[in-house]
C-alpha cells in the first residue's frame, strides 16, 4: 500500500467521522433537553459501565485481526487471510455473547455495587444486546481494515450513527412522560438499533466487496497455521490492546465511583453531584470532538505500519509515522485554541448550560494530547509493541486517580478538579508515547511543519476568532455569531498553513470526492505548493 493510499484510507474514515460528529451535534444538543441535567447525570453513571462492557466484548480483537490480516496479505496468502478472519470472528461471537448475557442478568448487581443507583439497572440490561452486535461488527471491521479498505467501516459507522441518533430522539420523546429513568432507557435502546444496523451494512459489504478483495491477493504457498495456534496468536496480540482500551473506561469508572464520593466529601448534595457529572460529561464530549482525524489515522496506521514492518521497509515505517503525527498536530493545535476561546458560547449553543465552559477550557488541551496518544499508539501497535502504550496509559490512569482523590474534594474546585486530573493524565500519556515512539522509530515530529507553523497560525486565527465572535454576538443570534467565525477562522488557518508549506497539494488531494479539484484550484491561486 502506498503512502497516498494509507492517507486516503484515513481521509475516508475522517470524512465519515466528521459527518458522524455533525449528526452527533444533534445528539449533543437534543439529549440534555430530552433527559435534562439529572438524566444526563444518570446517563453519565451508566456510560462508563457500558463502555467497559463493550471493550470486553470486542476484546482488542479488531486490532489483532487487522494486524495479522495486513501481514498475511503483504506476504501474499489469501487462504491465511480467510483463516485469520474466521478465527477472529468466532472468538468475537463467544466474547460478545458472554458480555451480553452478563449485562442482562447482572444489571441489578452492577447498578447497586458500582454506581449505587438502582435506577441504572434497566438501562444496563437494555445495553446487553448492543454489545453483542458491536462484537459482530468488530470482526468485519478488523477484516476490512487489515485489507486496508476503509469504505465499509466508514459506511457502517455513518449508518450506525444516523439510526442511533434518530432512535434516541424518538424513544426518549416517547418515554419521557413516564419519567427521566425511562427516557434514559430509550437512549440505551437506541444503541441496540444502531449497532444492529452497522453490522448489517458490514455483512453486506463482505458478501460483495470482501470476496473480491481476497481474489486480488496472489495466493503464494504458505504453511497453514493450525486454528488453535492462530487463535492464541490473535489473543496474544489482543490481550495488551484490550488492557489498553480497558484503561480508558477504567478512567471513566474512576470518575463514576470516586468523583461522587469526593464531591460529597466537599459538601455537595446528590443533585449537585449528578449535575456536576453531567457538566463534565458534556465537556468531555466536546473536547474529544475534534479528534476525528487522529482516530482515523490510528485505524489506518496499524495495518499500514504492519505491512511496512512485515516487508522490512524501515524508511516507510518512519515516513508514515511522521505523516500521522504531523496531521494529528495540525488539527489538534487549532482545535485547542478554538475550544478555549469559544468555551462559553459553544456551551450555551450546544448544551444550553453555561456551566460546561469552565471544565471545557481545562480540557481543551486534550485535543492535542489525545491526538498524539492516538497517532503514536497506532504506530506502536503496528510495530507489534502492544504492551508499550498499555504501560504508558496505565501511568496516566494512576495519575488521574490520585489527582481525582486530591482535587475533587476541594470545595473551591469540585468537578473542575476532575477536569484537571483528566487533562494532566492525557498529557503524561502523550509524552510517554512520544518517547517510546522516538526510541523505536527515531524522531517522527517535524518541528517546523507540525509544531511551529501550526502554533503561530493558530495563535493568529484564535485572536481573529475572538474578535469576530465578540463583535457579531452583539447583533446576531449566538449560534450564528459562533459557528460563522469558527468556520471562517479555520479556513484562514488552513490557508496560512498552505502558504507556509505545512499543508501540501498531496494532502489536499486526499480529501474524498473534491480533493483533486480543490488541490488544483488552490495551487493555481498560489496557496499550495506541490
pLDDT digits (tens, 9 = 90+) for 329-383: 998 999 999 999 998 888 888 877 778 889 999 999 888 999 899 889 888 988 8
Cβ pair 469, 342 in contact under 8 A: yes
Calculate ∠ Cα 210-211-214, nearest 5°: 90
137 and 156 part of one domain? yes
460 and 482 part of one domain? yes
Quote the CA–CA distance of 55 and 238 in Å, as a whole number.
11
185 and 282 part of one domain? yes
Quote the CA–CA distance of 289 and 345 in Å, as a whole number.
16
Final residue of a domain: which of 425, 445, 465? 445
User: What digits encode the pLDDT tens for the residues 309-327?
Assistant: 777 777 778 888 888 888 8
Q: Which residue has the higher pLDDT, 334 or 29?
A: 334
Question: What is the pTM for the complete model shown?
Answer: 0.78
406 and 520 part of one domain? no
149 and 10 part of one domain? yes
User: What digits encode the pLDDT tens for the residues 201-257?
Assistant: 999 999 988 888 888 877 676 677 778 888 888 888 888 877 776 666 566 666 667
> Scanning the structure block, which residue is given the C-alpha cell 459553544?
346
Final residue of a domain: which of 445, 479, 509? 445
| Span 159-173, average pLDDT | 89
152 and 281 part of one domain? yes
Q: Which residue has the higher pLDDT, 277 or 145?
A: 145
396 and 377 part of one domain? yes
516 and 424 part of one domain? no
Calculate ∠ Cα 413-418-421, nearest 5°: 110
Final residue of a domain: which of 406, 424, 445? 445
Q: Which three cell numbers stand for residue 40?
A: 444526563
Q: What is the pLDDT of residue 473?
A: 83
Quote the CA–CA distance of 85 and 70 in Å, as a whole number.
11
Which residue pairs, CB below 8 angstroms and at least 24 apart, start in 352-355?
352/32, 352/33, 353/32, 353/37, 353/278, 353/279, 353/282, 355/275, 355/279
Confidence of residue 480 (pLDDT cuts 50, 70, 90): confident
What SS3 state is found at 75?
coil
319 and 416 part of one domain? yes
20 CB contacts (<8 Å, ≥6 apart)? 157, 158, 161, 292
502 and 429 part of one domain? no
Range of the domain at 366: 3-218+226-445
Domains identified in the chain, total number: 2
210 and 243 part of one domain? yes
383 and 323 part of one domain? yes
Q: What is the pLDDT of residue 205?
A: 93
Amino acid at each position: 500500500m502506498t503512502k497516498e493510499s494509507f492517507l486516503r484510507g484515513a481521509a475516508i474514515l475522517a470524512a465519515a467521522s466528521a459527518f458522524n460528529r455533525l449528526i452527533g451535534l444533534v445528539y449533543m444538543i437534543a439529549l440534555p433537553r430530552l433527559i435534562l441535567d439529572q438524566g444526563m447525570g444518570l446517563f453519565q453513571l451508566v456510560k462508563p459501565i457500558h463502555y467497559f462492557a463493550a471493550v470486553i466484548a470486542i476484546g482488542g480483537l479488531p486490532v489483532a485481526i487487522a494486524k495479522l490480516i495486513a501481514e498475511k496479505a503483504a506476504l501474499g496468502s489469501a487462504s491465511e487471510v480467510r483463516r485469520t478472519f474466521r478465527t477472529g470472528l468466532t472468538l468475537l461471537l463467544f466474547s460478545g455473547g458472554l458480555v451480553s448475557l452478563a449485562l442482562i442478568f447482572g444489571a441489578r448487581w452492577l447498578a447497586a455495587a458500582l454506581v449505587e443507583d438502582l435506577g441504572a439497572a434497566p438501562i444496563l440490561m437494555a445495553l446487553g444486546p448492543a454489545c453483542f452486535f458491536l462484537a459482530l461488527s468488530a470482526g468485519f471491521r478488523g477484516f476490512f481494515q487489515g485489507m486496508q479498505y476503509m469504505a465499509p467501516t466508514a459506511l457502517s459507522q455513518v449508518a450506525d450513527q444516523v439510526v442511533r441518533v434518530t432512535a434516541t430522539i424518538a424513544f426518549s420523546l416517547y418515554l419521557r412522560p413516564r419519567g427521566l429513568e425511562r427516557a434514559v432507557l430509550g437512549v440505551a435502546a437506541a444503541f441496540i438499533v444502531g449497532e444492529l444496523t452497522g453490522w448489517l451494512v458490514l455483512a453486506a459489504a463482505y458478501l460483495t466487496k470482501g470476496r473480491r478483495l481476497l481474489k486480488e491477493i496472489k495466493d503464494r504457498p504458505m504453511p497453514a497455521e493450525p486454528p488453535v495456534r492462530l487463535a492464541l496468536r490473535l489473543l496474544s496480540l489482543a490481550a495488551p490492546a484490550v488492557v489498553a482500551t480497558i484503561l480508558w473506561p477504567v478512567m471513566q469508572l474512576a470518575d463514576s465511583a470516586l468523583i461522587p464520593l469526593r464531591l460529597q466529601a466537599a459538601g455537595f448534595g446528590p443533585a449537585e453531584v449528578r449535575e456536576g457529572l453531567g457538566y463534565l460529561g458534556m465537556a468531555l464530549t466536546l473536547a474529544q470532538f475534534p479528534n476525528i482525524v487522529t482516530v482515523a489515522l490510528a485505524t489506518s496506521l496499524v495495518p499500514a505500519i504492519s505491512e511496512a514492518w512485515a516487508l522490512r521497509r524501515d524508511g516507510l515505517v518512519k515516513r508514515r509515522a511522521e505523516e500521522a503525527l504531523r496531521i494529528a498536530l495540525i488539527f489538534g493545535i487549532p482545535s485547542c485554541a478554538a475550544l478555549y476561546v469559544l468555551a462559553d458560547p459553544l456551551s450555551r449553543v450546544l448544551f444550553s448550560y453555561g456551566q460546561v465552559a469552565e471544565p471545557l477550557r481545562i480540557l481543551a488541551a486534550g485535543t492535542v494530547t489525545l491526538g498524539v496518544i492516538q497517532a503514536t499508539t497506532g504506530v506502536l501497535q503496528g510495530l507489534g509493541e502492544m504492551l508499550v502504550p498499555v504501560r504508558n496509559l496505565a501511568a496516566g490512569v494512576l495519575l488521574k486517580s490520585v489527582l481525582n482523590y486530591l482535587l475533587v474534594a476541594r470545595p473551591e474546585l469540585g468537578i473542575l478538579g476532575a477536569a484537571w486530573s483528566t487533562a494532566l493524565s492525557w498529557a503524561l500519556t502523550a509524552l510517554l508515547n512520544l518517547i517510546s515512539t522516538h526510541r523505536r522509530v527515531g524522531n517522527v515530529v517535524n518541528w517546523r511543519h507540525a509544531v511551529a507553523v501550526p502554533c503561530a497560525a493558530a495563535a493568529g486565527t484564535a485572536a481573529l476568532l475572538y474578535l469576530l465572535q465578540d463583535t457579531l454576538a452583539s447583533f446576531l443570534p449566538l449560534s450564528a455569531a459562533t459557528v460563522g467565525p469558527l468556520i471562517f477562522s479555520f479556513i484562514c488557518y488552513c490557508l496560512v498553513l498552505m502558504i507556509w508549506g505545512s499543508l501540501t497539494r498531496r494532502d489536499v488531494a486526499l480529501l474524498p470526492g473534491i480533493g483533486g479539484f480543490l488541490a488544483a484550484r488552490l495551487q493555481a491561486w498560489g496557496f499550495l505548493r506541490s
